[in-house]
Structure 1
Amino acid sequence: MPTFFSDTAAKGLDPGTATAYWGYTDSIASLFVLLLSPILGAIADASGSKKIFLRFFTYMGAISCLLMFTIGAGNWLWASLLICIGTIAFSGGNVFYDAFLTDIAPPEKRDYVSSVGYSYGYIGGGILLAAHLYFILNAETFGVTTTTATQISLASVGVWWFLFAIPLFRNVPEKKIATEKRSAWQWTRIGFQDVRHTLSKITKYPELIKFLIAFWFFNDGINTIIKMATIYGKEIGIGTTHLITALLLTQFIGFPSTLLFGKIAEKVGSKVTLFITLFTYLILVCIGYYMQSAMHFYILAGLVGLVQGGSQAISRSIFSRMVPVYHNTEFFGFFSLTGKCASILGPFVFALVGQLSGSSRLGILSLVFFFVVGIILLFRVNIPKGEKEALDDEEPIINV
């Protein structure tokens, strides 16, 4: 999508403006998710309905992808709207998807299980992306233009998203809690009450708060690299074929690397493993600043594949061990909210610095700040103490 946005949807705009609009689009989408996530999590906790909400966001995301077939030359506003809807669906759905981790894995296995989940995601995404790359590069053989092939590829994501959600909906169990039947409005009111209740007692979990703040900073840098790297590469003149091939490289390196980091975490601990990934990201930022050629982009993509899944999986696992048991999904809503806060500021700063300075290189250099602050704050997190704080919580959800 970033290359299609730059080449087709933003046709008529200069490359720097297209890059900035892409960054602003991601920030706006993340703002909506920020507002929704904690409330949705609270409602799901109160009503015992994680799977229902996950199903809704899956359908929403699949439809948004199918509609991307209609994006034509110069339709950057329509493209931005569909990207926003798809991002809201993906991020909103992940609130409930991530919350299943505590249902299906004991604490001592969550580093590995979380890593397996991300690694399979790389395999699935890699297979589909490989098919897309072959289709787009051989579009004339299939009797279509490159633009049409790209539109079909984007739409196929919606089909893929829907089909591979079916096994989860059919087979993954959800822990049920005793609830009374209530209207949607009543569940919403309860959701707001639970969020207010959580905010009033969140100071009981100081280690969790410290981790969330650290996560906010370093995840800001990670999200910005994920969202902006391709369109940044396009802006500095790297060809579309190289960009898509490098993304494919990221997917297939990500599969074994994520599993590897899951095993490393079991041996040396989650915190040390997370530090390894974050220091690697600092190296990535420096490569991005000096990037000139396709080879540089391949190196950057390879390093991203090496640490991206590991950093995300280990962060999710650490958080799951410090979550109070009776507010699982709600706190994962706050986890998603923290990530979305990062998704708002990072791409916005990248876009704004690039637009004001006339150079997106300075935009990527600004990410050093987020990683350095995140690493410093992570040093101060005491994970065993955070686990004890979560286990000491025995206060049930308020259903009134």
Structure 2
Amino acid sequence: MDKKLQRSWMMYDWANSAFATTIMAAVFPVFYESVAAVTLAEGTATSYFSFTQSIAVLIAAVLAPVLGAIADFSAAKMKFLKFFAFMGMTASVLLVTVNEGDYILASILFIIASVGFSGGNVFYDAFLPSVAKKEEIDRVSTSGFAFGYIGGGLLLAVNLLMITQYEMFGFPNEKVASQLAFVSVGLWWFIFSIPLFKNVKEEKSEQKVRQKSYVKIGFSRIGDTFKTLRHYKQLLIFILAFWMFSDGISTIIRMATFYGATIGIDSNDLIAALLITQFVGIPCTFFFSKLAKWITAKKALTFALSIYVVIVILGYFMESALHFYLLAICVGFVQGGAQALSRSIFARMVPRNKQAEFFGFYGITSKFAAILGPAVFGFAALLTESSRLGILSLLIFFVAGITLLQFVNIEQGEREAKAAEDPSDIVNVQVK
């Protein structure tokens, strides 16, 4: 497969990971707590931030499968990718307008940017089987995440320097430095998306006659997805497993910094620890690509999820910045590998003619799961005035996900996907 095409695809991970690091994980949670929601009580600020996260993923979850189905029908994955990417870029830049007490504006802009980020990823992920052969999928998928760690980590390093040494950059205070960090995310996202937009093309497909609106087509195809999913037993089991463990992973990504801030860890320590996560993740993501070859992708993913169980338990007892640094290293070790292997395993079991549709379903699986974790933190903060107990709930999701994963037969799933090219073969696959 064309290496230039694969690198162009990977560069989008480099580009949009700036949003995941600077806005989603590091700077925005601290900025929300110390600036946007500074007029609110601690418990109220925590719940508002948590509910903002849940609303963002709820909207993305509802949109993802519909847009994926529409993109498959219209052969317009790239158009939709650009639309959502530009939405996320613009909203990220507009966060510069948020000031003290503007928690509603901050929440709205974050929700819009998150929808752009998540919506774009549906179509970006759907291009994976088009740019990589079967034997290359694990390598290309994990390399994409590694590119993301590098790109997101580099910009986060610059932003951390801007915020901690704001006077050196000529900024009056940390607030202004943080606001300009948001602007840098939008610009970074745009510039490094250009290779993907320029070089990755839509696969040629037979023109389909459209006799009803794309919205009706989208909902109709989602209904068909639910109906036909029974033909892909292994894919269905994996989706259930993914739904469980991705809840835990997503919650850790979205809430770690805010959680650390509420228990008194300094904002600079929080951002620095997440920067460490990024750069630890670079070699470790490549390591999991090799590990998948040595012991199979399923066993490598199981190993990564087991480490998350340890992280959750230790996170409950976290007291100091040193603890947060150590846990950040542990997260960096497994985060990219777990996400990349999940994506590549799923891609192996997806029929080629339903890539965007099924990746949309993949998206809704992770996004609906991601609603519950932040909501747990929000309700815990309101009811107990402490978010510490909420983290233990994540154990349920990781243990359940690991257990379900053991029942997935990836090779059988690949045969089921291939049989979809000839529906008459599906029965034969299930009988074997």
Q: Same fold (TM over 0.5)?
A: yes
Q: Deviations over 1:9-57 (max 9, x none)?
A: 1102222322222111111111111111111011111111111000001
Q: 1:351: Cα distance to partner? A: 1.9
8 Å CA contact 1:40–1:333 kept in 2: the answer is yes
1:106 maps to: 133
1:167 maps to: 195
CA distance in 2, matches of 1:296, 1:72: 31
1:262 to 289, 293, 302: 289
1:274 maps to: 301
2:420 to 376, 380, 393: 393
Q: Which runs of 5+ in 2 are unaligned?
A: 1-27, 424-432
2:207 to 158, 172, 179: 179
CA distance in 2, matches of 1:110, 1:224: 26
Q: 1:154: Cα distance to partner? A: 0.9
CA distance in 2, matches of 1:188, 1:232: 39
TM-score (norm 1): 0.96
Q: Deviations over 1:147-169 (max 9, x none)?
A: 00100001110111111111100
8 Å CA contact 1:41–1:333 kept in 2: the answer is yes
2:265 to 238, 242, 252: 238
CA distance in 2, matches of 1:266, 1:173: 29
**What residue identity is the alignment partner of 2:418?**
L
Q: Deviations over 1:190-235 (max 9, x none)?
A: 3232222222211111111111011011000000011111001000
Q: 1:89: Cα distance to partner? A: 0.6
1:62 maps to: 89
- Tell me the SS of whatever aligns to 1:380: coil
**What is the 5 A alignment of 1:1-400?**
1-144=28-171, 145-180=173-208, 186-394=213-421
CA distance in 1, matches of 2:177, 2:203: 43
8 Å CA contact 1:132–1:153 kept in 2: the answer is yes
Q: 1:328: Cα distance to partner? A: 0.8
Q: Which runs of 5+ in 1 are unaligned?
A: none
Q: 1:368: Cα distance to partner? A: 0.8
Q: 1:378: Cα distance to partner? A: 1.0
8 Å CA contact 2:78–2:201 kept in 1: the answer is no
8 Å CA contact 1:326–1:395 kept in 2: the answer is no
CA distance in 2, matches of 1:187, 1:232: 41
Q: 1:174: Cα distance to partner? A: 2.4
- Tell me the SS of whatever aligns to 1:366: helix
CA distance in 2, matches of 1:3, 1:91: 22
- Tell me the SS of whatever aligns to 1:360: coil
Q: 1:263: Cα distance to partner? A: 1.1
Q: 1:395: Cα distance to partner? A: 5.6
- Tell me the SS of whatever aligns to 1:179: coil
CA distance in 1, matches of 2:163, 2:133: 43
Q: Point out the more displaced range, 226-235 or 14-23.
A: 14-23
CA distance in 1, matches of 2:204, 2:378: 44
- Tell me the SS of whatever aligns to 1:173: coil
**What residue identity is the alignment partner of 1:102?**
P
CA distance in 2, matches of 1:228, 1:357: 17
CA distance in 1, matches of 2:39, 2:70: 44
RMSD: 1.4
8 Å CA contact 1:211–1:381 kept in 2: the answer is yes
**What residue identity is the alignment partner of 1:43?**
I
8 Å CA contact 2:58–2:367 kept in 1: the answer is yes
Equivalent residues, number? 395
Q: 1:181: Cα distance to partner? A: 7.0
Q: 1:382: Cα distance to partner? A: 1.5
CA distance in 1, matches of 2:217, 2:416: 25
CA distance in 2, matches of 1:187, 1:365: 42
TM-score (norm 2): 0.89
